[in-house]
Amino acid sequence: MNVSPRLVITGSGAVCGAGLGVAAIWDAIVNGRTAVSAIRQWDATRWPVSIAAEVNGVDNRTLVEDRKLHKLISRTDMFGLYAAGAAVQQSGLTVHRDTLESGAVAKFNDRTGVFAGSGGGAYRSHHDFFPLLTASGGDLQSFGRELGATVNPMWLLKNLPNNVLCHIGIRHSFKGTNACITNQCMGGVMAIAEAAASIRAEEADRAVAVGHDAPVEPETLLNYYNLGLLSGTAVRSFDRQRDGTVFGEGAAAIVLETEAAAAARRAPVLGEFLGSGCVSEATGIVDVCPDGDGVARAMGLALADAKISPDAVGMIVAHGNGTRASDASEAAAIRRVFGASPPPVTAFKWAYGHSIAASGALDLVMALHALREKIVPGIATLNSVDPGVAPLPVSSSPQAPRSDTALISCRGFGGMNAVLIVRAAAGSSSA
Amino acid sequence: MSARRRVAITGVGMVTPVGNDAPSTWASLLAGRSGLGEITGFDATGFTTRIGAEVKNFADDAGASNRKLAKFALRTHRFALAAAEEALADAGIHPSPSSGHRWGLSVGAGMMGVEFEDLRLLHTHCAQDGEFRPDGLLGEGYPADPVAFCRSQPNAGLALLTRRFGIRGYATAVHTACASGGQAVGTALKVMRRGVTDFMLAGGYDSMLNPIGLSGFCLLGALSTDNETPTRASRPFDASRNGFVLGEGAGFLVLEDWESARRRGARIYAELAGDGNSLSSFRITDSPPDGDGPIQAIQQALGDAGLTAELVDYVNAHGTSTLMNDRSECAALRSVLGKEVDRVAVSSTKSCMGHLISAAGAVEAAVCALAIRDGIAPVNANLETLDPDCAINVVRTKSRPMRIRAAISNSLGFGGSNSCLAFRHPDEVPTADAVVHERTT
């Protein structure tokens, strides 16, 4: 039987409330700076929750250079295309391709996969119909008649959940195997897991994987609040006083290829992808298993896929979304898998909020950077660890990773759980 | 070379505009009965297109035997629950508390589903003059409904299906527009080959036959406007075709390991033998005229299944009945099938049931499984004058009895995602050695 080739990460890119680019986000995290602040996309001063970690002060031209495209895509697509573009650029993939002879270029493009995890849609896209609803006075017949004169003919295209996938392909001429995953919070992590699986199965030689989302909008905020999922102040993962999550937005992307291919073109290697696991708890839309069943099983599958034992893991980036039920069940699962002495555990949502489909991809990119820096950043909002949850090595101060390997846990609606495991490149340090 | 795991299709379920289960859908398709007509679900008389392919007489509680789940289900989710239930019953095997973790789910799900009534409510409270004022949501009168919100989540269907059937393994929802259903089934095949699951429920569901969904396609000018002759409106490959007809529904397959299906004496419709998946990366709405993109997907699917063009007897085409899609797809088929193209029977069942968008690829995969079982290629209805740019062997006039050794099904989406699935007759499945041989010769 063929031995699976080693998969390496040769590029990464990210944007979120905490910064534009991996280095800027890292700087915010290690310095305990949170991006959570008053919402700016609308006046939320009267709202029961008025905070989020929004991407502010970044010009659309900085995110997507081609101004013509701005009219054809939505806010979340801007983030996704930026992150993917940054990852491709860092990897040097397209520069390398352009040195190839023409026959080899076509094969290169056909063998380059693209995997996107998308939020799947937004309420704001439907607001484009409000003027028409007003003009038609609620009468459907006149709604239909006035449609063409009132709504942008490209409305549907602007709001396709798979826009980032398509435009990465069009921009870079990548034509390989692909997917757009619309599994709510799982989008980004499953895009990465499927990208890796496609290379292992020899369906692609390399792949771009991105997760992106922009959930900060009034309807979503109000509904999450009504479901009891939002905090009015901060994400306090594993803290005694935690009272919910806070929205973020943004995107993160990586480029994956075989170690041999990266070595052949002397590409810089950031780290190695080791394994993934994904399971459902079959609990319906919002509920989770209190004992952390899904988290524990996803971790077990990812460890088996990576062919490593729990004690080889040097740090855990938990989902840690700050809700009572999710953090408690996640802590229970970590103890079940890692026993009495798990490696240092942290979570990043205090810094850049919960960006739903982008969240796991962002956590992975930042975990890889943390490994390279050999620092497990503290959870800056952690004051007093909840004595009611299984004890974990979490801290508000930095810790040292136990090894060069990180496990990233991601959870979402639908009782979904996914886990990724990555290792820093040998001898790597960006210091 | 290691023996690769083989995957059997042992159950099918469908809810479509031509039948609320697989047997009635299949009977309609074989008879060429149209499911197209005037839209009745809402007043569409003001729209440029007033026709569609609606699922008819669908009981609101069908499939949702768990009442609590039903209130979380949109129309599209109820189709999914019913088709999935039929597929599992058909296969005669269900996830159990002890096997649920070895079952997976892969679905092609539609775009975000905000119901028109919910949008109207938002408009009344927040945007009466057309401009959105978020504070209207906070007013006394606005009935914020968390259940409506849950229904609108992109993975609500996945959540309902895993919960309803106790599927506790790998679960994914994909959306690549019209390719979603095909990609979901292809993903299921890959997941099983990786050994992550032993059983998969794979399918797609969609319902865009509502004012917003219809608006999106009317604005793009993608729909046929033959409002006076709905049953003739969808005519893939005909020289006079002028757009697709929007449909709705769901299709599901039960997939399981070939050997274990044999051992339990399951009836095997076909082997799900190969998957091809590519991006056209051409333009966001346009199909490449030379078939570039679909060509790679079809080639991959054949290669993945260890098939050559000589072994393919039937193609269930994407065949939307738009000018561009049908030409591009035919160019791709001519390119890949080469001299075999005149022999291979091709039909688009969208001619009878319209375009089911995210469900299309999954429903058409089920159609291929039934075509192989019964040895008959369903008719491509409404073809009178073949477009000279679509020079392929279309199954015209009536369904064609024929032994089908292998079939492929194309799904080509807006944005350029292309999916091709390959199926083999259960008696045509070669040994692993033969697969290696075919590939190396």
Answer positive or negative: Cα dihedral of A28, A181, A412, A223: positive
Which residue in B has a C-alpha nearest to residue A142's C-alpha? B46
Count of Cβ atoms closer than 10 Å to residue B242 Cβ:
15
Backbone angles phi, psi at B230, to 5 degrees: -60, -40
Q: Convert the pLDDT of each residue in B331-357 to its tens digit.
A: 999 999 999 999 999 999 999 999 999
Going along chain A from its start, the domains and CATH numbers come out as: 7-122+159-424 (3.40.47.10), 126-156 (no CATH)
Q: Is B175 assigned a catalytic role?
A: no
- The pLDDT value given to residue B285: 78
Instruction: Measure CB to CB from residue B44 to each of A110, A144, A156 and give the nearest one.
Output: A144
Mean pLDDT of B121-144: 92
Q: What is the mean pLDDT of chain B?
A: 94
User: DSSP 3-state assignment of A279?
Assistant: strand
- The pLDDT value given to residue B437: 43
- Which range, of A290-294, B125-129, B147-151, B190-194, averages the lowest pLDDT? B147-151
Contact check, Cβ <8 Å, B156/A285:
yes
The DSSP code for B223 is: B
**Min CA distance, A397 vs chain B (Å)?**
36
Report the residue of B172, B190, B220, B280 to disrupt the A interface, i.e. the one with the largest count of A CBs within 10 Å. B172
pLDDT band at B140 (very low <50, low <70, confident <90, very high): confident
A415 chain-B contacts, CB cut-off 8 A: 159, 162-163
Count of Cβ atoms closer than 10 Å to residue A333 Cβ:
27
**Min CA distance, A351 vs chain B (Å)?**
25
- In terms of average pLDDT, the best of A135-139, B1-5, B230-234 is B230-234
Burial environment of residue A374 by CB neighbours within 10 A (0 to 12, 13 to 18, 19 or more): middle
**Min CA distance, B9 vs chain A (Å)?**
22
> Distance (Å, rounded) from C-alpha A241 to C-alpha A236?
7
B183 chain-A contacts, CB cut-off 8 A: 179
Contact check, Cβ <8 Å, A110/B278:
yes
Give the contacts of A195 (CB within 8 A, at least 6 positions apart): A113, A115, A204, A207, A208, A209, A254, A256
- The pLDDT value given to residue B145: 87
- The pLDDT value given to residue B316: 98
- The pLDDT value given to residue B162: 97
Candidates B175, B178, B330, B352; catalytic one: B178
Q: What is the DSSP string of B257-301?
A: EHHHHHHTTPPP-EEEEEEEEEE--S-SSPPPTT-TTHHHHHHHH
Contact check, Cβ <8 Å, A173/B138:
no
Q: Are B279 and B418 in contact (CB under 8 A)?
A: yes
B277 chain-A contacts, CB cut-off 8 A: 177-179, 203
pLDDT band at B439 (very low <50, low <70, confident <90, very high): very low
Q: Convert the pLDDT of each residue in B212-229 to its tens digit.
A: 999 999 999 999 999 999
Q: Is B125 assigned a catalytic role?
A: no
Alpha carbon distances (Å) from A235 to A98, B106, B109, B268: 45, 32, 31, 51
- Helix (H) or strand (E) holding A359, with range, is helix A359-373
Mean pLDDT of A399-415: 98
Tokens at A135, concatenated: 């003009």
- The pLDDT value given to residue B113: 76
pLDDT band at A196 (very low <50, low <70, confident <90, very high): very high
Answer positive or negative: Cα dihedral of A142, A148, A152, A157: positive
Residue owning tokens 């409904």? B145
The shares of helix, strand and coil residues in chain A, as percent rounded to the nearest 5, are 40, 20, 40
Asked if the model's pLDDT at residue B18 lies above 90, the reply is yes
Asked if the model's pLDDT at residue B433 lies above 50, the reply is no
Q: Which of B395, B391, B421, B427 is nearest to B408 (CA)?
A: B421
- The pLDDT value given to residue B440: 40
B69 chain-A contacts, CB cut-off 8 A: 284
Contact check, Cβ <8 Å, B48/A170:
no
> Distance (Å, rounded) from C-alpha B100 to C-alpha B201?
12
Q: Are B420 and B405 in contact (CB under 8 A)?
A: no
Q: Are B170 and A279 in contact (CB under 8 A)?
A: yes
Contact check, Cβ <8 Å, B220/A178:
no
> Distance (Å, rounded) from C-alpha B144 to C-alpha A229?
15
Asked if the model's pLDDT at residue A105 lies above 80, the reply is yes
Locate CATH 3.40.47.10 in chain B.
8-112+154-440
Count of Cβ atoms closer than 10 Å to residue A200 Cβ:
17
Angle formed by the axes of helices B75-91 and B22-31, to 10°? 100
Asked if the model's pLDDT at residue A1 lies above 50, the reply is no
Candidates B77, B125, B175, B318; catalytic one: B318
**Min CA distance, A300 vs chain B (Å)?**
12
- The pLDDT value given to residue A296: 98
Q: Which of A114, A343, A327 is nearest to A235 (CA)?
A: A327
Asked if the model's pLDDT at residue B35 lies above 50, the reply is yes
Asked if the model's pLDDT at residue B429 lies above 70, the reply is no
Q: Which of B294, B272, B402, B305 is nearest to B346 (CA)?
A: B402
Residue A127, CB-side half-sphere exposure with 13 Å CA sphere: 15
> Distance (Å, rounded) from C-alpha B170 to C-alpha B201?
11
Which residue in B has a C-alpha nearest to residue A172's C-alpha? B281
Instruction: Measure CB to CB from residue A147 to each of B196, B219, B300 and give the nearest one.
Output: B219
Angle formed by the axes of helices B360-374 and B180-193, to 10°? 70
Q: Which of B368, B311, B300 is nearest to B340 (CA)?
A: B311
pLDDT band at B1 (very low <50, low <70, confident <90, very high): very low
Report the residue of B51, B72, B96, B215 to disrupt the A interface, i.e. the one with the largest count of A CBs within 10 Å. B215
Q: Convert the pLDDT of each residue in B400-414 to its tens digit.
A: 999 999 999 999 998
Contact check, Cβ <8 Å, B154/A222:
no
Q: Convert the pLDDT of each residue in A303-331 to its tens digit.
A: 999 999 999 999 999 999 999 999 999 99
> Distance (Å, rounded) from C-alpha B400 to C-alpha B371?
10
- The pLDDT value given to residue A158: 93
Beta strands in A214-301 (DSSP E): 250-258, 271-280
- Give the torsion through C-alpha atoms of B70, B76, B82, B86, to 10 deg: -150
> Distance (Å, rounded) from C-alpha B290 to C-alpha A353?
46
Burial environment of residue B392 by CB neighbours within 10 A (0 to 12, 13 to 18, 19 or more): buried
Contact check, Cβ <8 Å, A416/B177:
no
Q: Are B307 and B422 in contact (CB under 8 A)?
A: yes
Instruction: Measure CB to CB from residue B47 to each of A125, A144, A165 and give the nearest one.
Output: A144
Instruction: Measure CB to CB from residue A175 to each of B137, B176, B279 and give the nearest one.
Output: B279
User: DSSP 3-state assignment of A20?
Assistant: strand
Q: Is B437 assigned a catalytic role?
A: no
pLDDT band at B143 (very low <50, low <70, confident <90, very high): confident
Residue owning tokens 């986000």? A25
Pick the more confident residue, B64 or A161. Answer: A161
> Distance (Å, rounded) from C-alpha A52 to C-alpha B133?
19
Asked if the model's pLDDT at residue B63 lies above 70, the reply is no
A1 chain-B contacts, CB cut-off 8 A: 2
Instruction: Measure CB to CB from residue A147 to each of B215, B279, B296 and give the nearest one.
Output: B215
Q: Which of B375, B382, B410, B376 is nearest to B396 (CA)?
A: B382
> Distance (Å, rounded) from C-alpha A231 to C-alpha A248?
13
Alpha carbon distances (Å) from A234 to A54, A351, A379, A383: 14, 9, 11, 12
The domain defined by B8-112+154-440 carries CATH number 3.30.450.40: no
Asked if the model's pLDDT at residue B66 lies above 80, the reply is no
Asked if the model's pLDDT at residue A408 lies above 90, the reply is yes
Instruction: Measure CB to CB from residue B166 to each of A72, A282, A294 and give the nearest one.
Output: A282
Count of Cβ atoms closer than 10 Å to residue B23 Cβ:
13
Which residue in B has a C-alpha nearest to residue A285's C-alpha? B159
Report the residue of A110, A178, A411 to disrupt the B interface, i.e. the one with the largest count of B CBs within 10 Å. A178
A133 chain-B contacts, CB cut-off 8 A: 119-120, 123, 127, 130
Alpha carbon distances (Å) from B216 to A157, A348, B199, B221: 8, 38, 36, 9
- The pLDDT value given to residue B434: 47
> Distance (Å, rounded) from C-alpha A231 to C-alpha A239?
13
HEC profile of B118-181 = HHHHHHHHHCCCCCCCHHHHHCCCCCCCHHHHHHHCCCHHHHHHHHHHCCCCCEEEECECECHH
Contact check, Cβ <8 Å, A155/B216:
yes
> Distance (Å, rounded) from C-alpha A103 to C-alpha B110?
37
**Burial track B116-137 (b if 16+ CB lie within 10 A, e otherwise):** bebbebbbebbbeeeebebebb
Answer positive or negative: Cα dihedral of A97, A98, A103, A107: positive
Contact check, Cβ <8 Å, A121/B111:
yes
Q: Are B242 and B226 in contact (CB under 8 A)?
A: yes
B42 chain-A contacts, CB cut-off 8 A: 140
Q: Which of B354, B337, B332, B319 is nearest to B407 (CA)?
A: B337
- Helix (H) or strand (E) holding A422, with range, is strand A416-424
